[in-house]
Chains A and B, each alone.
Chain A
C-alpha cells in the first residue's frame, strides 16, 4: 500500500504515542497525495483526536515522524507548522467580528490591514457569508460559525488541514448540507486534509480515501469502495463495512439480494433472516433483517412486512474471506 505512492505530499512514518505506560496509538504510517482528503473513521476512544493533535504539533509523539512535502515537522512547534487543526466547536473569538476572526491568521503574520480586509472578504465570499463581515460570532448560527472557522483556517493557506469531527455539534440536516459544501470548498482549494469522524456515512462521503483506525492502529486504508466493499477483518466490517458480515468473510451489499423463496443453485449461497423493520429513504424501500450473524439492512423492491421469514442470497464468487482473523467481541 505504502509503496504505491512514489512521492507523497503527506508522509506519516510509524507515528506512536504513549501516555505514561499506556499506548494510545502505535506505528501509524499513512501517505497522502497533495489535495487529497483522507477520512479517518473509528470508534470513539481509539486515539483519533490524539493522532490529529500529534500532526498539529499540540501533542508530542513518542516516536515516528511526520513529513509534509518532504519537510520534517518533528522539531517544529504547533505555531510554526503549516498545519491548522479545526476542533469540534467552531472556537470563534467572541470579542472579534466575523471579519476579524477570519483574518486573525493574517494579522499575526503581520499582513497589512488593507490586504487583510480584501483577502478576508474574498474568503468570506467563498463561504457565502460576506454580508456577515461586521457581525459578531454570537449573531451567527452553528453552521455559519463552522463555516467562518473553516474560512479562518483556509485563509492562511495551510499545507495540511486537520478536521476533528467538525460537524458533530450540529444537527443532522445541517451536517448533511454542510459536508457537501465543505468537501467542494476543500477540493476547490486543493487542500490536503485529514477528516476525523466516527460517522461511517460521513467518512465515506468526505474522503477520497478512507482509513479505519481501531485499537491504536490503522486497521485498513484505501479508497472508500475498497474499505467498505472488502474489509480485511470482521472488525473493520463492523465499523465501516457495507455488506453482509458472515463471521469468516464478507459479501458486499450490492451482491446480496433479498428473496422470499429460494431455488437451490450451485452458484449461490444464502442465509435465513427475519424482517425486523421496513422503511423508505431517498425513494427506496429499505429492509432491516435479523440473521444468525447479526442485523443487516438491504434495499429491496420486494413487498415484505415485519416478521416475515426471508432469505438473503448472493453469488458464491462474491464472497471474500477476511484476511485478518480477529475477534470482534468489542463491537
Chain B
C-alpha cells in the first residue's frame, strides 16, 4: 500500500502542476508579453504594456476600491447577521423552526434574477437604487443563507453545554461567545468569510440591475476589458481580479490570528 502511494506521488504532483500551476504561469507570462500566437512555443517579447495600461486606468482603480469596500462590507454584514441567527437556530428549540429555516434558505432556491427585479422596484421607491447601499443590500441575498448554514453547523458542533458551564462560572453572553465559542468557530469563520467574499466578488447581474451602472465593480469591467481583444491586458486584469480575494483572505487570516484571544492552532 505504502509503495503504491510512493509511486503515485510523482504522478499526483504532475497532475496538480498541469491543472493548477501551469495555467497560472501561462496567464502570468501572457500578462507580460505581446499577444501570443498559435504555433510559437514561447512568447516573442517581454513588455509591461498590459500592466501599465491597467494601472493607468483611473476607472479601474476606482472599481478596485468599490469592489474591496463592497466585499468587506458584505462580509461584515454577513457576520453581524449570520452569527447571532445561526446561534439562535442551533441552540434554541421553538415552534416553526423548520419553517424559518426554509425561509432563510429561500433566496438560494429562488432564481436570484426574479428577486432582483422585484427588489429593484422597491429600491427605486425607497431611493437606494443606483447606490452603493442598494448594491450592498442586494449582495446579502446570495450570501447570508450560506453564512447562516456554515455558522449553524459550527455552533451545533460546539453544543449548548459550554454556554451553561460558562454561565455558572459567571460569564455573560458576550464573554461566553468571545472566550469560549468564537475561538472554536475559527474554521467556520474562515469558510464563511471566504465564501461570502467570493460570492460578492462574482456578482454581475445583481450589481448591474441594482447599481444601474453607477456602482462599478471589477466584474462589470471584465467584459469591456475582455471584449477589447488584447490578451495581454485581459491576462493582467484577470490576475489582478484573482489577487483581490486572495489578499482579503490573507488580511482576514492575520486578523484572526491577532484579534482572537487564544492561539488558533488549538481552535479546531
Contact = CB atoms under 8 A, between A and B. Distances in A.
A296 to B, nearest CB: 41
Interface in B179-222: 179-180, 183-184
Contacts, number: 62
Interface string A250-293: 00000000000000000000000000000000000000000000
B170 A105 contact: yes
Given A87-B165, A91-B165, A95-B184, A108 B262 contact: no
B41 interface: no
A105 B165 contact: no
Given A108-B179, A136-B266, A91 B172 contact: no
A108 B168 contact: no
Contacts of A79: 166-168, 170-172
A195 interface: no
A95 B169 contact: no
B168 A94 contact: no
Contact of B170 (A87, A89, A108, A136): A108
Contacts of A156: 169-170
A153 B169 contact: yes
Contacts of A89: 161
B168 A83 contact: yes
A22 to B, nearest CB: 17
Most buried by B among A56, A58, A95: A95
A91 B262 contact: no
A78 B163 CA distance: 11
A91 B266 CA distance: 16
Interface string B128-163: 000000000000000000000000000000000110
A96 B262 contact: yes
A131 B210 CA distance: 61
A93 interface: yes
A33 to B, nearest CB: 23
Nearest to B164: A58
A83 B167 CA distance: 10
Contacts of A100: 262
Contact of A95 (B166, B171, B262): B262
Most buried by B among A84, A91, A152, A156: A91
B47 interface: no
A134 to B, nearest CB: 12
A108 B171 contact: yes
Interface of A: 56-58, 77-80, 83-85, 87, 89, 91, 93-96, 100, 104-105, 107-109, 136, 152-153, 156
Given A85-B164, A95-B184, A105-B169, 13 more contacts: A58-B167, A78-B168, A84-B168, A87-B164, A87-B165, A89-B161, A91-B162, A91-B165, A96-B262, A108-B172, A108-B175, A153-B169, A156-B169
30 contacts: A56-B168, A57-B167, A58-B167, A58-B168, A77-B167, A78-B164, A78-B167, A79-B167, A79-B171, A79-B172, A84-B169, A85-B164, A87-B165, A91-B162, A93-B180, A95-B183, A95-B184, A95-B263, A95-B266, A95-B267, A96-B262, A100-B262, A105-B170, A108-B170, A108-B171, A108-B172, A108-B175, A109-B170, A153-B169, A156-B170
Per CB-CB distance, the 6 closest pairs between chain A and chain B, nearest first, are: A78-B167, A95-B266, A85-B168, A108-B171, A91-B165, A95-B183
Interface of B: 161-162, 164-172, 175, 179-180, 183-184, 262-263, 266-267
